[in-house]
Chains A and B, each alone.
Chain A
Amino acid sequence: MIKFLKSSYPRSMAEQTPQPPSWLLNFFRRLCKPSYVEYIEGDLLEIHERQSREHEKQANWSFAWNIIRFLRPRYLKGPEDVYPKSTYPMFKNHVKISFRNMRRQAAYSLINILGLTVGIASCLLIAIHINMELSYDEFYEDSDRTFYVTNGGKGRYTPARMVSTLIQDYPEVESGTRLWKVNDYVVKIDGQTTKITNGLVADSTFFDVFPQEFLQGEPKTSLIAPNSMVVTKTFAERHYKGQNPIGKVIEVEGDNYTITALVSDPPRLTSIPFEFIVDFPREWYVTTGYWTGNNYFSFVKLTRSEQEPNMEAKFVDFVRHYYAKEVAEDGENIEDYILERLEGGNPFFTLESLKDLHLHHPHLSLGKGGRFSDVLILAFIGVLILLIATINFINMTTARAGLRHKEVGVRKVLGTTRGDIMRQFLTESLMVVLTATILGFALAALSLPYFNSLTERSMVFSDIASPTGFILIAILVLVTTLLSGGYPAFYISSIGPVQALKGEGPRGSGAGVRKFLVIFQFVVSIFLIATTIIVDRQVKLMQNTDLGLETEEVLAISNMTAIADKFDYFKGQVEQQASVQGVALTNQRPGGGISNWGYEVISDNPFKYGPDHIFSDGNYLEVLDLQLLEGRFFQPGRQADSMTVIINQHFAKMIGENAVGTTLSRGRDRNFTVIGVVEDFYATTVKRKSRPLVIRYEDDVNGSVAISNYALVRIKGDFLSTVAAIEEQWQEVAGDYPFEAVFLNDAFNRLYQNEERFRSMFRLFSILAIFIASLGLLSLAAYVLERRYKEIAIRKVLGASSERITSLILRDFAIMVIIAAFIASPIAYFYGNEWLKEFAKRIEIDWMLLVIPVVMVLLFTLLLVVVQSYRAASANPVNALKQE
């Protein structure tokens, strides 16, 4: 603004120079280019003054007219006068200064950037991971009307004719396919023997349900002919490099298969992964099979997804119609059969949507399942990490900026506008955030291999550099920049130059807010440490629980129904091996699912109950090494034993005294006598509570009441060769039928695989969060000390020792930790217990557990602060006081 000094030109009162209307002048001034304004106005006034001596009115009109004449482009304000001076060159200047400042405060900048970088990298990885987990099976367009047919809600296997009959009988079932999973086949390709894995056996309708991209061949016909095989690109590359695989003959387990089609690889994120698909053998157990035999994975596609609940209701009639014959053959009435099942509370079959498979029904997935709660928790941690990192960053930036009030004052005196100062601060923070972001991306990319091993995934860089990632980051950059640059920009820039140069900092430098933020970080750290310990201990507990049965030496082979009549022969063959200690037949595999059946206990206090239920033959006890507490176990061959049961300790306690001899009834004269009590053991995952258990006798694979699909083989000695031998014996009896066997301890461990993975991830990210928090702590400590530099010096001069000073500062921090502890511990306790509720056997969260994190944080804080304090306190006080 140009200031016009009142001239010292003498004039008398009577000769006051008449002024033109001031509004005219203002009007002109507003429109005129600043560089011309003064001279033009001067001339105009001179003329006006002259003219007004003769005709005052006239003078004003002339004045106005002259002004109008001056309204030319040459004299009018242009864009460069209207818009802020901070154009691109100014921005470049800001950037230059930003980097200079960064270098000047190298240590702080480094810590700041480091914290933010780690935060961004972690958040990025977690976000991508979660995004992937949530987008399984999106590849299939009709995934919303594609369903998995479960057996009783949890069972994976369904009968052979299920799919075809459903399609036939119900118009709303459009299509469907059965699947077997192939673990490996021994094959001969061009004379070379090798193994192929990761395959499926499917019906020819497979591609109606799971459409794939066909590179060669036709979807409808590729699996129609017997012994057809469809291969993926990966398969072709591996085994037929450079050649066209179509038409080639490949010998699979002795039979010749022809490759009929080539498809692109199925997407990574799928519940139905495969490298090759073969058609079903034309055997009776495939085309007909037993209704009571469940050996197939079944998928159906409905015409509309809303029909799903209707379908489930129709299953009862379905069973009534089709199962009647076979059930009757076994001497039972179909209505009874149905009733028994429904009484137990289990539906016959349910339909689960393909989209829900991966996260909500991971055990049904043919790929690797995920877990929804894990996703949630990870998301939570991701957010937490980001929060801490950004809060730290904002905290530190604003703190440091507060110290620059002198700089701001000087610049204002030199004429910098407030706007410019604001832009300076914002640019600075933008530069730092951008640097951290770029580094964050780099860090994320570099740590991919490690992260992949952790999550058992194979993420590629392009996953991170996806549009989702960028949008996320862009938002983040924006928010962080605004928040961290905003406070100094708006607040500090408002300092008057005089106040700043006098040495006073801005009023209310936000110390309270800072304290709050630090306490928040302490809370988070304590919480994370506590929960990590909880997760750790729980997983360890699960892995080390005494299951009450032998797992390492027991092999569970499924699909006994495939060899039903020949089971005894098979059993005999297997038992012949020296290393085999026993073979038992049972309907459910320990570590697998379990069902429950209703009984009425006939005793002094009769009651009805539905204990867990297993069928087994007489060898069960020995093979699994169970402990018999009272009575006796089944004796193989004793016919009378078909009306006896064994119960476990838990159930025995429920019955009361003299459990042995009690009658359990299932109505209509089906009475069973308890002949023995075994010690509790885990028939299924330790996540479930120990429940009462009833074991009934069954030595026929296609028993009258239940299908016993599993053979448990106790092996002592050389596992590998024994299993190989058993597999041969199996193939002798079962032919092509897949040999599915697993050691019990592996089976159990697999139950916890998810937990294990979760634990690793949780631990990793907790550590990262704490790391970031400690960075924040470090820089905060340094900052606080710098502010109190003078105070420390004065204290020293007045005679305080270095130790005393240090302890003073320490006390402030310690108090913050204690406050944080009181906040964090209850939260950790509450959420820890919530998570633990899922597990039957769980650890106790005792006060000891909650104290450990607090102590750790305290010690750590101590360390960080002490080192810095001591240095500051030991410094020569003269240096501090000299600084003026």
Chain B
Amino acid sequence: MRMASLRHGVFALSCILTLTAGCQRSPRQRELVVVSFGGEWQKAQTEAMMKPFATANKVRITPSEYGGDYELLAQKLGSGAWDVVDVEPAELLRAAGAGILEKIDYTKIRKAALIPSAVHDFGIGLMTYSIVLGFNSITYPSSKPRPSSWADFWDLDKFPGKRAMHNSPQWMLEIALLADGVSAEKLYPLDVERAFSSLDKIKSQLITYESWAQPTQLLLRGDVVMSVGTSGRLLAAKEEGKPIQISWENGIVASDYWVIGKGSQNKELAQAFVSYSVSDEAQSAMAKYILYGPSNTNALSSIAANRRSLLPTAPEHFSQQVRFDAEWWYINKKRVLERWNGWLLSPAK
């Protein structure tokens, strides 16, 4: 008798649970998943773009991080797990070519205020950054010779010690060619063979890192004497009083783009978010948090003059840097990635 009522009770409970499970409200209402590269970069985006947008529109923005890998990006955009993603230029071209991106709605955006390279059918330019040489200013004080060019990065006799590079051929092949003496105008199309034989020269002293937040740590802890890094993050550490210096010579300049995935469940919200990101207020606010060139030219006037000279887009720095060619990488990245991996795994000669 008691066993029968117990079984009935369990049966009834399981029926109720199954029915209520199906009645859950859609889990992604008024929520946006925004993915970027983490660290100081993402912190600036959070403070300047995500938080103000979230409070003004009463939505929840769930941030996430990734390393820029295209395969992961394609998978997450297709499944709708990620709504808005910060991508590098080559990935923008590849994703647009693969048809997994939503067209940006420019009707509410004043295109005239934006720099020309920021306007793309499937992506909107966020900020312009620069890949530069960073070093520890305690290791190389101003009284001693300091590394300034990529040739110095390669000079193991004059500047002995370990170097750090990002674990990706993108940017690194350009740097290897520049160090080998290729002039900036003749850089693209990249001579991949020459770049790899140039990299072989410093392979024994090379440490590779995965995330752009690591160069600062590696330099400060003394694991490396020089590192390839992003100018904004290295200068942010310098502004905090840490002993880090950079050299602008032959840095590589590029922009990142917000893209919206075709599989997103919150397309209108995503469009509103990306158009807010290039508004005057968001771009001025962003420049407060990280020293990168805004896409909105109106925002330049709100940046203090002494900080304006630390932007990669400042005329004195922009003129000595190299412009990144996303087209070449869009076509060749997969092949070069395999080559890079094989090179990385083979022992140093």
Q: Do A and B come from one complex?
A: no
